[in-house]
Structure formats: C-alpha cells, structure tokens
Amino acid sequence: MKKIHLWHVPKDIDLIAICLLVAVFIISPVLAEGNVNTYVSVLTPDQYITSQPSAKGSEQINSIKESASALSVDYSLYVGQYLPMRAWQTTGGPPIPGVTFDFQRSDDGISWCTIQSAVSGPDGYAYLTNYAESCPGIVYYRVVGSSSLIVEWLQTDPPATCVPIPKCVQPIGKTFSITNSMYENQAPTLNSERTIAAVKSRLGSAGWGDPVFSASGPTVTRGFFGGDSQVPSRSINDATLHYHTGHGSFLGDGTPGNTSLVISKPGETGGNFDGDWFNAQDVQNKWGGKNKWVVLHSCNILKDDKWGDVLGTTHGVFGFATVVDMDPDVPDFFFTNAIEGKPLYNSWRDATRDALRDTPAATHYNPDGTLDYTHDTVDVIAAVYFKTPTQKRLDHFPDMGDIAPEGGPDDKAVRYAWNCHTNEDVIL
C-alpha cells in the first residue's frame, strides 16, 4: 500500500499560482553544478543492500519506487519491519562519498531527534540500518537537509507486543571514569598513581572536568565492568571514556586462550595472582550506555580475541597483547594526540609507539615473582578493537572531528595490533 501526497492547496489560490508552485517544487532538485542537494529515498528489497525486510508485507515494499526528497510520500510498513532508507548528496554530479548524514525521527513532524548517523560510502550512499518501529502508528522520518517522509506502521498478525520506541541519540559528552586495581602490599603502585594523574590532568585541562567516578584498590569490583549483578551506582557505562589500570593475566580461570582482568591482588607467588578476576565472557556485549571507548592499561588482555565481544554499543577498547609497563606517558601522549584532533586509532597507535618504542616486554618471572627484564624480552605489542571499521577510521574525541555511528548486533569487532618498536602491523 502506497499513498502519495504532494501538498494541500487552499481553494483561493488561482491556477497560475498553482502552476508556479508545481514548477518550483518539482524542478528544485535539478539544480546547476555547484549547488549542494541532499536526497533521501526508500528502497525496494533488491536495491537495499544492508538489511532485507521481512517476508510479511513484502508486497507493500515491492511497490515502492525510489523518489527524490522533493516529494512528500507516505509509506506503509509492518511493525517490526526495517525501514529501508538511503541518503545521498550531490552538486549536480554523482553522489559524494564521505558525507555524514543524520537520520531523524519525529512523532509529530515538528520536534525531531537524531536516531542514527551514517557516512556515505565509496558509492556516495549512506543507509539507515536495522531500524524498525515496535508500535503501529504514524511516524515522520527525514535526513537533515531533505524533506520528510511519512511512514505508517501497520499492526502485524498476530499482534506484536508494543514496546517503547528506541531513544534518540544523545550528544556525546566529555565525561570519563577511572578504575585502578594496580596495588602492591595494600597500596597503589607509584607508576599507577602517576598514570592516573596523567589521565586526570590531560582530560581536565581539555575541559572534561572531574571523573564521573574514580575507584581504586579493593573498591574496584566486577560490577564496575558489568561482570556480576552487584553493579555500583556508577559503572563504566556512565561515562564516554573509561581508563583502567591493573594487572592482566592468562592464569585467571585456567581456560587456554582466555585472558583475565585482575581486579584484586592481595598476594602473589611466582607470578601466580591470588585475587579476583573476570574474562571477556563475563562481560560479553555489556559495554555501552554512555560509554564509547575503554582503555585497559593492562598486560596481555587484547591477545584474547574474545575481548572484541564485550562491545555492545561501545565503539572501541584500547590495550596491549603483551606485558607492558605502567608508563604515564601512554595516556599523556594518547590524550594529547586526541585533543589535537587526531582520530583515536591514530592517537593510540602513535602514543604507544612514542612512549614504548624502547621499552621491552618481559616473558619470564624472577623467583620473587617480579618480571625478568634481563632474559628473552620482546617488543611491546599494542592493540585495539573497534566494533566497525568505520569507527576505527572516523572516531575522534567529541568536538574534535567525526564520530562514527553505532555498530549493529551482527557486527563482529575487528582487532588491529602493531609492534610498538617497529610500528609494523602484527597479526595475533
């Protein structure tokens, strides 16, 4: 079912005025080279490459033809069925790659909020992905710079359970939080304190204010990371950026290949940590909310490829795949790069290279449990997971550049790793 409504014309407008209005309205999209125009269309299943609509209602979808944004068109879909929209921008030639589009939604056609942002790909098109309504009714959609589409969502048969609509995308704030479980003999290590001080100093001086929370020592629990039901009043999902300092280990639960984040360490013998820990499976898909990026300044953690699975709507997790020193230059260089406008991937890569280029990674322990830096050392390997390749390419600090849209539930995080001494890519 498709209804096309161009406009409503009052009866007292004469025929000449109507003809002028028609000419302006229809011809306006066809502008001279150099004028920037934004278009939006709804696609048929064979055109839409990101997600296919459900079989229910396929006849309605198949009858929809692509239309430029100059027309106000009503589309009818079934509740729970994806709205297959795409947007593009042109100056009279082909669609332009690399343009950021905000897809917006409104209940009344007056008050709008952004539900998803997307960047046009090499073909110049950007897509609204995996977005459907859960309740029947009339809803308005648009891409900033284009006119709106009116979408009528029909009830499924049998009736679907009606749940609240997805929330609008909230502005990404300059907020951060800290956890420090790098303790020795019931006290924080000197280097961990210096590292945390560097985090607070660099972000504070850039207008990020005080941390949303800063927990250390025995107050750091699994709950801060979503690792158990005892979630504190604030967790890593309550701040845009979280920075953690602490031990990482392969010993944790004893499962081969698993790396564990050590969050308490009352004692050690020969490198065997007698404490509490959790691994990636404990927090799978639990990092999101307000959070966009997590730094795990810990040994070994990102050597385990399952840490990419912790990303819900969080974009990226930064860390290491070898032993690494607690060097305050790492956050200092990282945040300096990001505050100067570098993408976060480049900021982390450059920071770890510059801070750790000449710092070896130990592979053995001394009899007293300390790391042996005199035998069989290797170069430090740094790494990062991003939920999507677009996030790796585009993500910047807020107000410093683009931030890519959220990844979807079917996106598999991608790991990137490099040798901090040679800066060469590493396959783990």
Whether 53 has a pLDDT exceeding 90, the answer reads no
Tokens standing for 324?
A: 């690494």
pLDDT digit string, tens, across residues 378-396: 889 999 999 999 899 989 9
pLDDT, residue 136, reads 79
Q: Binning pLDDT at 50, 70 and 90, where does residue 127 land?
A: confident
Q: Which of 279-283, 351-355, 361-365 has the lowest mean pLDDT?
A: 361-365
pLDDT, residue 203, reads 97
Q: Binning pLDDT at 50, 70 and 90, where does residue 399 land?
A: confident
**Residue, of 380 and 52, whose pLDDT is higher:** 380
Whether 319 has a pLDDT exceeding 90, the answer reads yes
Range among 118-132, 252-266, 384-398 with highest mean pLDDT value: 384-398
Provide the residue count of the chain.
428
Residue 146 DSSP class: S
Q: Binning pLDDT at 50, 70 and 90, where does residue 221 land?
A: confident
Tokens standing for 19?
A: 């003809």
pLDDT, residue 2, reads 29
Indicate the domain borders of the chain.
2-154, 176-419
Q: Is 142:207 a contact under the CB 8 Å cutoff?
A: no
* CA–centroid distance for 388 within its chain: 8
Domain topology for 176-419 = Rossmann fold (3.40.50)
Which of 151, 139, 126, 132 has its CA nearest to residue 75? Answer: 151
pLDDT digit string, tens, across residues 72-121: 446 677 777 777 788 888 888 888 898 888 888 887 777 777 788 888 88
Residue 310 DSSP class: G
pLDDT, residue 404, reads 85
pLDDT digit string, tens, across residues 184-219: 655 567 788 999 999 999 999 999 999 999 998 878
**Residue, of 149 and 34, whose pLDDT is higher:** 149
Q: Quick one: 317 exposed, middle or buried, by C-beta within 10 A (0-12, 13-18, 19+)?
A: buried
Q: Binning pLDDT at 50, 70 and 90, where does residue 316 land?
A: very high
Whether 293 has a pLDDT exceeding 70, the answer reads yes
State the DSSP H helix or E strand holding residue 197, giving kind and residue range, or none if neither.
helix 190-203
Q: Quick one: 10 exposed, middle or buried, by C-beta within 10 A (0-12, 13-18, 19+)?
A: exposed
Tokens standing for 335?
A: 């945040």
pLDDT, residue 254, reads 57
What's the CATH code, domain 2-154? Answer: 2.60.40
CA angle, 300 as apex, 296 and 301 as ends, to 5°? 45
Q: Quick one: 86 exposed, middle or buried, by C-beta within 10 A (0-12, 13-18, 19+)?
A: buried
